Amino acid sequence: LYPTPADEQVTISIAGNKSEVSYQISDIEGRLIGQSTFTGSELLLDVSNYKPGLYVIRFEIGEEIFPRRIVVM
């Protein structure tokens, strides 16, 4: 996940992934900002409309969950 901090977009890279990935983005207070799915090893996520701050993105691949942080400037 890079760059962070970000101002326009974030690249999400999951090496070798061929499965469907679900993700949810929440603000620091836990409010759901967005959710979607993608298949493959890379996604460009547009954060240009996000307010500056800290966000948590939670990936779900099969039964595994991977939370990560995004800082938007």
Residue-wise pLDDT tens digits, 6-62: 999 999 999 999 999 999 999 999 999 999 999 999 999 999 999 999 999 999 999
d(CA 2, CA 69): 10
Q: Contact 20/37 with Cβ under 8 angstroms?
A: yes
Q: Give the residue from 57, 60, 55 showing the smallest Cα distance to 22.
A: 60
Model confidence at 3, pLDDT cuts 50, 70, 90, reads very high
Return the residue matching tokens 């993608």: 38
Q: For residue 63, what pLDDT is reported?
A: 93
